Structure 1
């Protein structure tokens, strides 16, 4: 049983990355564009350049989209994880100690989900893997005997 689970791991990780990236990007789309019928909680979109909400929305939209596509996954996930850690400690944690009390479960979960992707990479279905495969295929194959320069 463990062998089957191990062989499915890249696919499960790829699906995890896709779902987390999509949901994260949706938060940014709501904040910046008012998309999906949502608002920023104040009845509109976040004002252009407003610190920190506009920048958080930009990180969510761009970082979430990159994670969704599996393109630059580790870097996008690292920046996104840091943004959510900042959001948790600057916005939610001062309200109460526990995430369930301070409405910070989302920020905490996104922080740790993105942090996991920093170490695991994109898994299956990611553009990172596609580009890596193409780059390896384009490299010249080493010959058995390499001439030695005299």
Structure 2
């Protein structure tokens, strides 16, 4: 049973990353473009507009699995900043200050920094392609002689 779960782990992590990235992208799109019944933020407004840009671009990169660890680190930091500057002054705990989403996004993105993108990512596709290209250009080697 554990073997099957372990074999599925990269694919479940990849699916988790894709869904997380899409959810985060929706937050950015709502704030920047007034989508999903939201009003848009004026360009350059500190810090909300910049946070929305991070949400849109960071979420898209995470969803695609492109530069996942760096995009997740920046997204995590953005949510930590949002939590401590916007929510935490209203109360100590996320349940008291409405900061559950910021806290959860912060910790989940931080987890992706350490786990990586999982399966089905552009990061893995490009890494695999560069490995194959390096092998194609490697000089032929004579078989090792054993005595």
- TM-score calculated relative to the size of structure 1: 0.90
Distance apart, 1:35 and its partner CA: 1.5
Residue of structure 2 in register with 1:79 after alignment: 74
Residue of structure 2 in register with 1:26 after alignment: 26
Distance apart, 1:142 and its partner CA: 5.6
For the residues of structure 1 that align with 2:19 and 2:6, how far apart are their CA atoms?
20
For the residues of structure 2 that align with 1:142 and 1:10, how far apart are their CA atoms?
33
For the residues of structure 2 that align with 1:129 and 1:45, how far apart are their CA atoms?
35
Residue of structure 1 in register with 2:60 after alignment: 65
Query: Secondary structure of the residue that 2:69 maps to in structure 1?
Result: helix
For residues 70-100 of structure 1, the C-alpha deviation after alignment (integer angstroms, 9 at most, x for no partner) is 0000000000000000000000000001101
Give the count of matched residue pairs. 141
Query: Secondary structure of the residue that 1:13 maps to in structure 2?
Result: helix
Residue of structure 1 in register with 2:130 after alignment: 135
Residue of structure 1 in register with 2:87 after alignment: 92
Residue of structure 2 in register with 1:36 after alignment: 36
Residue of structure 2 in register with 1:47 after alignment: 42
Measured on the aligned residues, the alpha-carbon RMSD in Å equals 1.3
- TM-score calculated relative to the size of structure 2: 0.92
For the residues of structure 1 that align with 2:114 and 2:139, how far apart are their CA atoms?
31
Residue of structure 2 in register with 1:116 after alignment: 111
For the residues of structure 2 that align with 1:56 and 1:137, how far apart are their CA atoms?
38
